[in-house]
Amino acid sequence: MLSATNVGRAYKITSNSWEYTGDGHSLGYEAGAELIDMEFVQFHPTGMVWPPSVSGILVTEGVRGDGGILTNKEGRRFMFDFIPDNYKAQTADNEEEGWRYTQGDKNARRPPELLTRDHISRCIVREIKEGRGSPHGGVFLDISWIKKKLPNAEEYIKRKLPSMYHQFKQLADIDITKEPMEVGPTTHYIMGGVRVDPDTQMSRVVGLFAAGECAAGINGANRLGGNSLSDLLVFGKRAGEFAAKFAKENSHGKIDNNKIDMYAREALKPFENSSGENPYSVQRDLQEVMQQNVGIVRDEGEMRSALDHLKTFWERAARVGVTGNRDFNPGWHTALDLKNLLTVSEAITRAALERKESRGAQFREDYPEKDERFSKVNTLIRKGEDGGMEVLLEPLPEMPDYLKQIIEEMK
């Protein structure tokens, strides 16, 4: 069974741990499972940007929820300049109302700093690209300003945001009760993954189950914060139960020892080529290309260029070499990870090219609006008979009658 995994290490800046290299997605794809919605990669708007050693580490939305504001180098709260029409009715149009919302006023509308993650990320990128960013390539997130509103602001911040206070103090030598933080978008979550049956969580490969972040379908084009844990708990339970039921009702699969030997030789191949390409160099170049060409704001030209680069990266990955022994060898682990990283990167890029519109976490500068032709389809990725990657647009399945009945009874 495939469980929670992420693809964040395909990008240069990510909140994900070092081992999140798309293994679950890639293993499912190689086994013959279909991937859907791979174009929908969520960028959290606030990750640390300085110093470089902590780049991408998450800065919780709680900072903005407790009154933190986003400003550019000119001191302007730029989020008030970019409130989408469909959110204007629920969003404060002045700073005072936004402040009252963070303090629990149920009659106040939320400040624009609490709009959707993808929208805030794009606004931050816009400020940076237009030269209004912070010194280290982000923008400012300021919670210290609330001293203008609260007499005990320093104690309030430490009590409400203790982990953020210690994180910035220890990692960046910044006291968030006295000065703003530098933040920028960081790769955080992927809505795409293995296509599974909604009841059993089994993929199109009989006996292969998936749940959590490497499965797809529940979040659609975007994910609300906090949904990933409930997703994993609910559908992880289902996947486990149905996998156990399947195992009891079916005989063990046959193991092909020749394939095991083949994969073992393939895994050890980098040791035979100690003077070959450095796997870290390939990983670094891949991350740079994905960050620049298939990131928060996309267009066809840049993504076509990314595919050209990916073809070269595949060739370089076949030539990587490592030295040393097999025990605790991070160079070897990186060499093994490259195939998975390249697989998910190609899937993301090809799916994003196929969806010629902006929806949810995907924003295409060349197709900035939603297109209803894409509202009832999934982008589907599968391995073709020639070993290449196929991309299809597949209609969304009809809702089962029993679910329609449940919805009717709930009305």
Please count the other Cβ atoms lying within 10 Å of the Cβ belonging to residue 275.
Answer: 6
Question: What per-residue confidence (pLDDT) applies to 24?
Answer: 93
Average pLDDT over every residue of 273-292: 94
Spacing of C-alpha 13 from chain mean position: 11
Residue 274 has pLDDT above 90, yes or no: no
Q: Give dist(CA 67, CA 143) in Å, integer.
A: 6
Asked if 282 and 313 count as a contact pair (C-beta separation under 8 A), the reply is yes
Residue 388 has pLDDT above 90, yes or no: yes
Average pLDDT over every residue of 349-357: 97
- The vertex-301 CA angle with 292 and 124, nearest 5°, equals 40
Q: Give dist(CA 35, CA 168) in Å, integer.
A: 38
Query: What is the H or E stretch that residue 290 is in?
Result: helix 279-293
Token reading at 359: 């929806």
**Annotated catalytic residue 316:** no
CATH 3.50.50.60 domain residues, the chain: 8-40+191-250+258-395
Phi first, then psi: what are they for 392, rounded to 5°? -130, 155
Average pLDDT over every residue of 341-351: 98
- Report the mean per-residue pLDDT for the chain: 93
Question: What per-residue confidence (pLDDT) applies to 275?
Answer: 86
CATH 3.90.700.10 domain residues, the chain: 61-183
Q: Which residues contact 289 (CB under 8 A, 6 or more apart)?
A: 305, 306, 309, 310, 313
Query: What is the domain class of 61-183 according to CATH?
Result: alpha beta
Which alpha helices (H) appear in 110-152, and where do they start and end?
Answer: 117-129
Look at strands 41-48 and 377-383 and give their pairing.
unpaired
**Domain 8-40+191-250+258-395 falls in which CATH fold?**
FAD/NAD(P)-binding domain (3.50.50)
Question: Largest alpha-carbon pair distance within the chain?
Answer: 72
Asked if 67 and 153 count as a contact pair (C-beta separation under 8 A), the reply is no
Question: What per-residue confidence (pLDDT) applies to 3?
Answer: 67
Catalytic residue among 44, 122, 223, 355: 44
Q: Give dist(CA 241, CA 243) in Å, integer.
A: 6
pLDDT tens for 47-87 read 999 888 899 999 999 999 999 999 999 999 999 999 999 89
Helix, strand, coil percentages for the chain (3-state, nearest 5): 45, 15, 40
330-354 and 300-317 helices cross at what angle (nearest 10)? 150
**Annotated catalytic residue 64:** yes
Smallest Cα–Cα separation from 3: which of 217, 239, 220, 294?
239
Residue 188 has pLDDT above 70, yes or no: yes
pLDDT tens for 217-263 read 888 899 887 788 888 899 999 999 999 999 999 988 888 999 999 99
Query: What is the H or E stretch that residue 36 is in?
Result: strand 35-36
Sheet of 389-395, strands arranged across? 215-216, 193-195, 35-36, 377-383, 389-395
- Please give the model's pTM, rounded to 2 decimal places: 0.90
Q: Give dist(CA 248, CA 242) in Å, integer.
A: 10
pLDDT tens for 1-43 read 776 678 999 999 999 888 899 999 999 999 999 999 999 999 9
Average pLDDT over every residue of 163-179: 95
Catalytic residue among 25, 64, 238, 359: 64
Q: Give dist(CA 119, CA 116) in Å, integer.
A: 5
Q: Give dist(CA 51, CA 396) in Å, integer.
A: 44
Residue 364 has pLDDT above 70, yes or no: yes
